[in-house]
Amino acid sequence: MNETRLLILDDDVAVGQMMQDVATTAGMMARYTSEPAEFFEAVERWDPTHLVIDLRMPQMDGVEVMVRLAEKGCAATIIISSGVGDRVLDAAARSAQDHGLRIAGILPKPFSPKALRTLLTSSPAGADLDPGSQKSSRATFVATPENLAEALRSEQIIVYYQPKVECLTGRVTGFEALARWLHPEFGLITPDKFIPLAESSGLMGDLTYRVLDLSLGFLARHFNGNASSLGTKSLTSVTSRLKVAINMSPQVLRPQDFVEHLVDACAERHIETYQLILELTESSAMENPVESLAMLTRLRVRGFHLSLDDFGTGYSSMLQLVQLPFSEIKIDKSFVMTLNHSSESRSVVRSIVSLGQSLGLQTTAEGVEEIETLEYLKQIGCDIAQGYKISRPLPEAEIVSWFKTHCRNGYWKG
């Protein structure tokens, strides 16, 4: 039987009852409690398919509740709700996912009945447990070449976009495209779980072309030409020069027709080649320096931008690196994220920025999570910032609305 049993944990009686009403009106079974102890008992006995958990409660916070649920191998689909900020909600959802819980979404308070209904009806029940049968242990996600190939065919590989902004003004210069696997059963899967597999199983070319296609489409739809989806004429001047950056594995660069493929893909979407940034890590650029130099030069000649990703983590010789025709250095986030607490990180970042300046390269700091980091980057003359403080990577529709709000607020001035 596939019926929804919803269990709600919230210390606010009015909110709890409202949720219960919404669910029962939609034909679900729903229970509500404000007591963690009672909640855990109901999880055991009633075996709910869905849970709504309030993050902030007097007796026990929601994160603790979720850690306990994970320990019990809870297979229910979880909605996290709270009045705390979006960042905290996001962090809680990530932490829960890392613990192996199944998260349907977050519900920032105050919320509308409709928002709750949408989350409940769009998220299928977790493992469908037949009462009486032995509890099946939760299936774990394993990527195989076969299911990744299938995911590529059935368009489960999607792209999230993270903005890059000028440190000084906050003006958006473009977005980095980051691959995600939207799995019908396991939800959103991050690239660390499938990029290495794509590389070892010969699927990296297909994956990169898919990311490229989606990213160019995204740029063309929202930010190029008349940028119709933004709906505001005055934004078009700011948007006309936005760029999109995609990550490149060395094996994708090798085929001889690669450069032509990129040129054609841009032309089809009326995107100028300078609007596409290819990000390569220093180790991949140095894998075969002679071949890389030729290929990278061809790309630069055609107008593409090249970015040296994760800079500072490799061991290549500085001399070899600076001879490659990069246009941007991306300072690795391990240094940026620790700026405020480590004088070593500050020294590393400062010297990379001045190296970039003296070579005429744009410097980008990724992993900007705090306002103090941004202040420091401004002081030392770093050009571009990217990180959770500005925005997390978001799906297409959400990044477009983030962009509109960011512009409406006058960048940093807002």
Minimum distance from residue 227 beta carbon to Ca ion (Å): 25
d(CA 227, CA 240): 8
Residue from the set 285, 368, 382, 384 that interacts with ligand C2E by CB under 6 A: 368
- The smaller minimum CB distance to Ca ion, of residues 247 and 284, is found at 247
Strands 384-386 and 157-166: antiparallel
Tokens of 297: 């030069």
Answer yes or no whether residue 279 interacts with Ca ion by CB under 5 A.
yes
Cis omega (within 30 of 0) for bond into 110: yes
Residue from the set 61, 310, 328, 383 that interacts with ligand C2E by CB under 6 A: 310
d(CA 246, CA 368): 19
Give residues 318-347 in contact with ligand C2E (rule: CB under 6 A): 333, 337
Answer yes or no whether residue 273 interacts with Ca ion by CB under 5 A.
no
**Taking contact as CB under 6 A, which single stretch among the options 5-13, 138-146, 319-327, 364-372 is the one that binds ligand C2E?**
364-372
- The smaller minimum CB distance to Ca ion, of residues 50 and 305, is found at 305
Give residues 90-119 in contact with Ca ion (rule: CB under 5 A): none
d(CA 6, CA 293): 59
- Encoded one letter per residue, x for contact with ligand C2E by CB under 6 A and - for no contact, window 29-68 reads ----------------------------------------
Give residues 158-177 in contact with ligand C2E (rule: CB under 6 A): 162
**Taking contact as CB under 6 A, which single stretch among the options 77-85, 137-145, 243-251, 269-277 is the one that binds ligand C2E?**
243-251
d(CA 66, CA 97): 10
- Cβ–Cβ contacts within 10 Å for residue 343, how many? 8
Q: Pick from ligand C2E, Ca ion, none: which does 393 bind, CB < 5 to 8 A by kind?
A: ligand C2E
d(CA 236, CA 225): 7
Give residues 290-319 in contact with Ca ion (rule: CB under 5 A): 309-310
Helix (H) or strand (E) segment spanning residue 217: helix 204-222
- The smaller minimum CB distance to ligand C2E, of residues 130 and 150, is found at 150
Tokens of 207: 């994956």
Binding residue count for ligand C2E, defined by CB under 6 A: 26
Minimum distance from residue 42 beta carbon to ligand C2E (Å): 35
Q: Pick from Ca ion, ligand C2E, none: which does 249 bind, CB < 5 to 8 A by kind?
A: ligand C2E
Q: Looking at residue 35, what DSSP letter applies?
A: -
- The smaller minimum CB distance to ligand C2E, of residues 43 and 177, is found at 177
Residue from the set 69, 93, 179, 306 that interacts with ligand C2E by CB under 6 A: 179
Q: Looking at residue 335, what DSSP letter applies?
A: H
Q: Pick from Ca ion, ligand C2E, none: which does 328 bind, CB < 5 to 8 A by kind?
A: none
Minimum distance from residue 290 beta carbon to Ca ion (Å): 24
Answer yes or no whether residue 349 interacts with ligand C2E by CB under 6 A.
no
- The smaller minimum CB distance to ligand C2E, of residues 81 and 215, is found at 215
Contact yes or no for 292/343 (Cβ under 8 A): no
d(CA 56, CA 260): 54
Give residues 70-99 in contact with ligand C2E (rule: CB under 6 A): none
Minimum distance from residue 162 beta carbon to ligand C2E (Å): 6
Answer yes or no whether residue 195 interacts with ligand C2E by CB under 6 A.
yes
Give the bridge partners for 394, in sequence order: 161
Answer yes or no whether residue 205 interacts with ligand C2E by CB under 6 A.
no
**Taking contact as CB under 6 A, which single stretch among the options 30-38, 115-123, 259-267, 361-369 is the one that binds ligand C2E?**
361-369
Question: At what angle are helices 36-46 and 62-71 packed, to 10 degrees?
Answer: 30
- The smaller minimum CB distance to Ca ion, of residues 106 and 252, is found at 252
Nearby residues of 159 by Cβ (< 8 Å), 6 or more positions away: 177, 178, 179, 180, 211, 214, 215, 218, 396
Q: Looking at residue 47, what DSSP letter applies?
A: -
Answer yes or no whether residue 387 interacts with ligand C2E by CB under 6 A.
yes
Give, in degrees to the nearest 5, the angle at Cα 99 between 42 and 12: 45
DSSP string covering 118-136, please? HHHHHS--SS-PPTTSPPP
**3-class DSSP string for 156-186:** CEEEEEEEEEECCCCCEEEEEEEEEEEECCC
Nearby residues of 168 by Cβ (< 8 Å), 6 or more positions away: 378
Q: Catalog residues that contact Ca ion under the rule CB under 5 A.
A: 247, 279, 309-310
Q: Catalog residues that contact ligand C2E under the rule CB under 6 A.
A: 162, 178-179, 190-192, 195, 208, 211, 246-249, 279, 309-310, 333, 337, 366-369, 386-388, 393
